[in-house]
Amino acid sequence: MSRKFVRFFAHLAAMVLFLSGMVYGQKIKPDHTTRVRPDPSIKAMINEVSAKNIEGTIRRLVSFGTRNTLSSQTDPNRGIGAARDWIFAEFQRISTGCGGCLTVEKQTFTQPKAARVPQPVEITNIIATLRGSTDPDRVYVVSGHYDSMCNLDATDTTCEAPGANDDASGTAVSLELARVMSKRKFDATIIFMAVAGEEQGLLGSTYFAKQAAEQKMNIEAMFTNDIVGGVTTYKTAPDRQTIRVFAEGVPSNETEDEARERRSVGGENDGPSRQLGRYIKEMADIYSPLFKATLVYRRDRYGRGGDHIPFLERGVAAVRFTEPHEDYTHQHQSVKMVDGKQYGDLLEFVYFAYIANAARINLIALANLALAPAKPKEVTIMTGKLTNDTELIWHASPDRTVAGYEVVWRETTAPFWTHSLRIPNYFFVARPNVPGFHSYTFKEMSKDNYFFGVRAVDRHGHKSPVVYPRPER
Ligand SMILES: [Zn+2]
């Protein structure tokens, strides 16, 4: 039988199934969890992540003695300048390995005096961009901070500040992902980044996020890896094979009107960053059965912050990756021995195999995001009529890679999406009064009793994160 015939019958069968589903309304038996056939190219990339390379990066970064943002910019061996130049050269070397596929830049700015900046100082972010092939204006950012500090006074520029965990580990993740992912093509653009000034008050990431917002860069997701070293003192902890993903619920940049609307109908658990967190966990569960992503429903740990925050404040969905247990004797501490106990963020307290797993979770999420179509836009739940039917509408994506959409739902008390229904593109009926939109109606399934969402899917099964609908009368 020719391929054309096979395809015709497949479509016919799908149509019959779909129409019977429409007739029986919610009696359709949806997948309990959204099923994805793992993509072999993503599996191959997972295997290419190397703990050895990560170890090499961290050893090198630690060898600069201190990477305090206020330390020497010109000494070739010690200080932040030496680290900056080495990271820049590494990204360039990776780019040479892929035929110049990365654009590697130093983004330098002068930071004026601030709380932890006694004199104006130059701060440099290193940015390596892998341009997307079909949708280059859609951008994903993965970042770590390469600056370090030794004790509670972030302005001490001469003390030993190895910063092996905080945050050579996160910087090593950015470099390793660039090495592995630059050998492939993705629909969307990926930026691999190492920023400075984090310990001085998120200065490098704030500058980048501000510039990106001014240039109207469409960043659909941002990851910061900060303290992903898998500290060795917790090597035998029962939840060792996990990484925490901190994802806020209510958006940091929510307006008063949005807050009012949210209070009236819920949605505190459904902001874009929370959806991104769910996505990371969902993809990690599919591709990484042994090492898990644990979603934490908060922006960050108590009293702490990270480079995702300036992005959140500008409306970008962003999460923070951090090891499951932290050992505060090896963070922001001077290197010292007290009563036979070693303090300091030293090389010997990070675990390279753990960091490789952390990198793999990042890779799984990033690759799926950048291979999938963009999130559906203008997703709306119609609330004008008192009815037990639920109507969702969303903008018909102009992206030719979109093969269809998936509507998802869950009980209002459920933490994750529990049900989904795949709707191929060709079944859509454009709303007659709203051209360019798709709609789907759940018969006798009340919007008051469930949370709903919509995501886009391509023909290989790559999925976008879920978009939670805005109510409209
Ligand atoms: Zn840090």
Task: Tell how far the Cα of 165 is from the centroid of ligand 1, in angstroms.
Answer: 8
Task: Tell how far the Cα of 169 is from the centroid of ligand 1, in angstroms.
Answer: 10
Phi first, then psi, for residue 366 (nearest 5°) are -65, -45
Q: Please state at what angle helix 352-371 crosses helix 51-62, rounded to 10 degrees.
A: 110
On the question of a cis peptide bond just before residue 307, with omega within 30 degrees of 0, the verdict is: no
One digit per residue, the tens of pLDDT, for the chain of length 473 reads 566 666 666 556 555 544 444 433 333 444 444 567 899 999 999 999 999 999 999 999 999 999 999 999 999 999 999 999 999 999 999 999 999 999 999 999 999 999 999 999 999 999 999 999 999 999 999 999 999 999 878 999 999 999 999 999 999 999 999 999 999 999 999 999 999 999 999 999 999 999 999 999 999 999 999 999 999 999 999 899 999 999 999 999 999 999 999 999 899 999 999 999 999 999 999 999 999 999 999 999 999 999 999 999 999 999 999 999 999 999 999 999 999 999 999 999 999 999 999 999 999 999 999 999 999 999 999 999 899 999 999 998 888 899 999 999 999 999 999 999 988 776 656 666 677 889 899 999 999 999 999 999 999 999 999 999 999 98
Task: Tell how far the Cα of 226 is from the centroid of ligand 1, in angstroms.
Answer: 5
Q: For residue 113, what are the contacts with CB-CB under 8 A and spacing of at least 6?
A: 119, 120
The token duo for 454 is: 């919509």
Q: How far apart are CA 346 and CA 344, in angstroms?
A: 6
CB 151 within 8 A of CB 324: no
Task: Tell how far the Cα of 142 is from the centroid of ligand 1, in angstroms.
Answer: 14
Task: Tell how far the Cα of 305 is from the centroid of ligand 1, in angstroms.
Answer: 8
**What pTM does this model have?**
0.92
Is the four-CA dihedral 413, 416, 419, 422 of positive or negative sign?
positive
The one-letter amino acid code at 8 reads: F
Task: Tell how far the Cα of 149 is from the centroid of ligand 1, in angstroms.
Answer: 9
Task: Tell how far the Cα of 68 is from the centroid of ligand 1, in angstroms.
Answer: 12
Write the DSSP symbol of residue 116.
Answer: T
Show the 3-state SS of 145-211: ECCCCCCCCCCCCCCCECCHHHHHHHHHHHHHHHHHHCCCCCCEEEEEEEECCCCCCCHHHHHHHHH
> How do strand 419-424 and strand 380-382 relate by DSSP bridges?
unpaired
Write the DSSP symbol of residue 463.
Answer: B
Task: Tell how far the Cα of 356 is from the centroid of ligand 1, in angstroms.
Answer: 18
Task: Tell how far the Cα of 234 is from the centroid of ligand 1, in angstroms.
Answer: 19
Of 428, 426, 418, give the one whose Cα is nearest residue 466: 418
Helices (H), 317-372: 352-371
Q: What is the dihedral of CA 3, 4, 10, 11, to 10 degrees?
A: 150
Task: Tell how far the Cα of 386 is from the centroid of ligand 1, in angstroms.
Answer: 50
Task: Tell how far the Cα of 157 is from the centroid of ligand 1, in angstroms.
Answer: 17
Task: Tell how far the Cα of 170 is from the centroid of ligand 1, in angstroms.
Answer: 8
Task: Tell how far the Cα of 199 is from the centroid of ligand 1, in angstroms.
Answer: 7
Task: Tell how far the Cα of 134 is from the centroid of ligand 1, in angstroms.
Answer: 34
Task: Tell how far the Cα of 458 is from the centroid of ligand 1, in angstroms.
Answer: 36
Task: Tell how far the Cα of 225 is from the centroid of ligand 1, in angstroms.
Answer: 8
Over pLDDT 90: what percentage of the chain? 84
Q: For residue 181, what are the contacts with CB-CB under 8 A and spacing of at least 6?
A: 45, 130, 190, 192, 363, 366, 367
Q: How far apart are CA 125 and CA 207, in angstroms?
A: 9
Residue 121 parent element (H or E):
strand 121-130
Task: Tell how far the Cα of 227 is from the centroid of ligand 1, in angstroms.
Answer: 6
Task: Tell how far the Cα of 63 is from the centroid of ligand 1, in angstroms.
Answer: 18
Task: Tell how far the Cα of 357 is from the centroid of ligand 1, in angstroms.
Answer: 19
Task: Tell how far the Cα of 129 is from the centroid of ligand 1, in angstroms.
Answer: 23
Task: Tell how far the Cα of 391 is from the centroid of ligand 1, in angstroms.
Answer: 44
The token duo for 275 is: 């959806």
Task: Tell how far the Cα of 322 is from the centroid of ligand 1, in angstroms.
Answer: 9
Task: Tell how far the Cα of 66 is from the centroid of ligand 1, in angstroms.
Answer: 14
Task: Tell how far the Cα of 426 is from the centroid of ligand 1, in angstroms.
Answer: 48
Task: Tell how far the Cα of 141 is from the centroid of ligand 1, in angstroms.
Answer: 17
Task: Tell how far the Cα of 381 is from the centroid of ligand 1, in angstroms.
Answer: 40
Q: How far apart are CA 49 and CA 158, in angstroms?
A: 34
Task: Tell how far the Cα of 83 is from the centroid of ligand 1, in angstroms.
Answer: 16
Task: Tell how far the Cα of 452 is from the centroid of ligand 1, in angstroms.
Answer: 36
Task: Tell how far the Cα of 359 is from the centroid of ligand 1, in angstroms.
Answer: 16
Task: Tell how far the Cα of 316 is from the centroid of ligand 1, in angstroms.
Answer: 20
Task: Tell how far the Cα of 463 is from the centroid of ligand 1, in angstroms.
Answer: 31
Residue with tokens 């247990």: 325
Task: Tell how far the Cα of 168 is from the centroid of ligand 1, in angstroms.
Answer: 9
Q: Sheet harboring 135-145: ordered strands across? A: 102-111, 121-130, 188-195, 135-145, 218-225, 318-322, 242-246, 292-296
Task: Tell how far the Cα of 190 is from the centroid of ligand 1, in angstroms.
Answer: 22
Task: Tell how far the Cα of 228 is from the centroid of ligand 1, in angstroms.
Answer: 9
- The string of DSSP letters for 260-285 reads HHHHHH--TT-SHHHHHHHHHHHHHH
Cα 269 to chain centroid, rounded: 17
Per-residue CA distances from 386 to 313, 447, 449, 470, 473 (Å): 36, 10, 14, 17, 11
Task: Tell how far the Cα of 207 is from the centroid of ligand 1, in angstroms.
Answer: 17
Tens digits of per-residue pLDDT, 267-290?
Answer: 999 999 999 999 999 999 999 999
